[in-house]
């Protein structure tokens, strides 16, 4: 058994902890008995050095810029498979055969309708409501319509619940969007594929023909695949923390949606495009790079940097290639693309960014494609939600099967007053 020894240099006491090896990636020190044996906690704000669980879903090598779902490279999945293939892979551990995919696809199509009563919820929101607020509330409200999912413990039940979530989230996303514009709600069209149906639910008007081009479906489907899973990020850890209490799965996913909303996480894609518009021209890039480097200025270059990737985010690379391939067909805003490319070029050769290993992340390029798909900025994080819903629920299922899981309950280093009297 490999161990690591911790020496307390106050009294010379030595403690041994086992080193556990994953299938690939850095070893981990098993400190579960640390408090019991030493009376001490670890201190790790933001969990930069803490593995909170075992997982066999996603592997990231941040130094090399690699990402794999269930062992498959993200680039292969994004270029050779569809989002629904990826959903099947994540949920079952296996890429589907042709007939399995057809059955899975049909099930998702059939489950895409939401209860009629749920629509009333959307009427209660003010016109100014952000679609993410409606999204998280409506996913939470699903727990009132599918209360039976509170008491599930069998894989078959987990899979039904998971498919409901994957199928209904695009419908709720479209309802959020349509409510924000005050336009009539549209039912899913189950003749259409998952991604085409989402674009249809966004764009369609009653009794008018809706045009959705294959190139648009391909671009958005790739974006969904790239967002599908990303191991223990902030929103997934939130889903797991809520799930660890035994709360309803829809409550856990709704909490994940709220965690994703922040600008440091999924909200970045909305901020990137706002920032590119603000920069406006390649001539202004240097000025904004200077601001981003100024320690006295809060300004950050949105779409740059990542907690795990200390190299090019592989998802950003795939999106950059996709943009180059489809920019003409999609009608990507060439001025904004020029600004983005200039920022990337300047940042990648600048000492500040090189030293801190700040590379473009997935959000840097996704907004340009989404804008070309005529998806408004306020919907960008919703697109992330649609893609990531399968990852969250896959992690939820894994947690439910994990015999070592306990309620998430970190400790703290207390710094307040010791004792006061009234
Ligand atoms: N622009 C300028 N400086 C930056 C940036 C940036 N985008 N990101 C990090 N830094 C600097 C930061 O100021 C710090 O400098 P110093 O060491 O001098 O204090 C250093 O780099 C390390 O930053 P950090 O905040 O300690 O790093 P972190 O791992 O805690 O944060 C991050 C990662 C993604 C929150 C951060 O890089 C960031 O805020 N990026 C912009 C927002 C963004 O694009 N988010 C999307 C992430 S990818 C999609 C997702 O997973 O949700």
Q: Give pLDDT tens digits along the chain (422 positions).
A: 999 999 999 999 999 999 999 999 999 999 999 999 999 999 999 999 999 999 999 999 999 999 999 999 999 999 999 999 999 999 999 999 999 999 999 999 999 999 999 999 999 999 899 999 999 999 999 999 988 888 888 999 999 999 999 999 999 999 999 999 999 999 999 999 999 999 999 999 887 899 999 999 999 999 999 999 999 999 999 999 999 999 999 999 999 999 999 999 998 888 899 999 999 999 999 999 999 999 999 999 999 999 999 988 999 999 999 999 999 999 988 889 999 999 999 999 999 999 999 999 999 999 999 999 999 999 999 999 999 999 999 999 999 999 999 999 999 999 999 999 99
Spell out where 1-147 has E strands: 3-7, 14-20, 28-29, 58-61, 66-69, 72-73
CA-based nearest residue to 55, from 34, 67, 70, 75? 70
The answer to whether residue 306 is catalytic is yes
158 within 8 A of 105, measured Cβ to Cβ: no
**Which residues sit with their C-beta closer than 6 Å to ligand 1?**
233, 264-266, 268, 292, 300-307, 356, 358, 361-363
Nearest ligand 1 atom to the CA of 235 is: 52
Atom of ligand 1 nearest to the CA of 230: 51
- Going by alpha carbons, the residue nearest to atom 2 of ligand 1 is 300
| Ligand 1 atom nearest 384 alpha carbon | 52
CA 350, chain centre distance (Å): 29
What's the burial of 246, exposed, middle or buried (CB within 10 Å: 0-12/13-18/19+)?
exposed
Q: At what angle do helices 194-203 and 83-92 cross, to 10 degrees?
A: 120
Ligand 1 centroid – CA 111 distance (Å) = 39
For residue 259, give both structure tokens.
């965690």
Annotated catalytic, 73?
no
Q: Which of 306, 324, 401, 402 is catalytic?
A: 306
Closest CA to ligand 1's atom 48: 361
CA of 238 to the centre of ligand 1 (A): 20
Model's pTM, two decimal places?
A: 0.94
- Length of the chain equals 422
**Helical H segments across 182-313, by residue range:** 194-203, 214-227, 234-244, 249-260, 268-279, 285-293
In angstroms, what is the span from residue 306 Cα to ligand 1's centroid? 6
């Amino acid at each position: 058994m490999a161990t690591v020894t911790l020496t307390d240099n106050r009294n010379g006491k030595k403690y041994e902890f086992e080193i556990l090896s994953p299938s690939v990636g850095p070893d981990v020190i098993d400190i579960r008995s640390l408090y019991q044996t030493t009376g001490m906690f670890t201190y790790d704000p933001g969990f930069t050095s803490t593995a909170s669980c075992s997982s066999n879903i996603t592997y990231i090598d941040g130094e090399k810029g690699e990402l794999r779902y269930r062992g498959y490279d993200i680039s292969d999945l994004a270029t050779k498979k569809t989002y629904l293939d990826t959903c099947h892979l994540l949920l079952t551990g296996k890429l589907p055969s042709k007939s399995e995919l057809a059955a899975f696809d049909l099930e998702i199509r059939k489950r895409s309708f939401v209860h009629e009563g749920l629509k009333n919820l959307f009427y209660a929101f003010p016109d100014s409501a952000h679609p993410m607020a409606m999204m998280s509330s409506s996913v939470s409200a699903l727990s009132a319509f599918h209360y039976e999912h509170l008491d599930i413990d069998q894989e078959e039940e987990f899979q039904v619940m998971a498919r409901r979530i994957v199928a209904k989230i695009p419908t709720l996303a479209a309802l959020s969007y349509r409510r924000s514009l005050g336009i009539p709600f549209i039912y899913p069209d189950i003749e259409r594929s998952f991604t085409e149906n989402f674009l249809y639910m966004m764009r369609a008007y009653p009794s008018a023909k809706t045009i959705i081009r294959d190139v648009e479906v391909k671009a958005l489907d790739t974006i969904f695949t790239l967002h599908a899973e990303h191991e223990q990020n902030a929103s997934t850890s939130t889903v797991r923390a809520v799930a660890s209490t035994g709360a309803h799965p829809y409550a856990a996913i709704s909490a994940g949606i709220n965690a994703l909303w922040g600008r440091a996480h999924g909200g970045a894609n909305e901020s990137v495009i706002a920032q590119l518009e603000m920069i406006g021209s390649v001539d202004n890039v240097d000025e904004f790079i200077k601001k981003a480097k100024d320690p006295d200025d809060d300004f950050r270059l949105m779409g740059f940097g990542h907690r795990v990737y200390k190299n090019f985010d592989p998802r950003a690379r795939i999106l950059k290639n996709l943009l180059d391939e489809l920019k003409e067909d999609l009608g990507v805003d060439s001025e904004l693309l020029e600004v983005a490319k200039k920022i990337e070029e300047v940042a990648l050769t600048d000492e500040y960014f090189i030293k801190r290993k700040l590379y473009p992340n997935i959000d840097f390029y996704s907004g340009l494609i989404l804008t070309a798909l005529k998806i408004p900025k306020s919907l960008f994080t919703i697109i992330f939600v649609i893609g990531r819903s399968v990852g969250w629920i896959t992690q939820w299922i894994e947690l439910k099967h994990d015999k070592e899981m306990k309620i998430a309950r970190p400790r703290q280093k207390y710094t307040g007053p010791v004792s006061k009297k009234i």
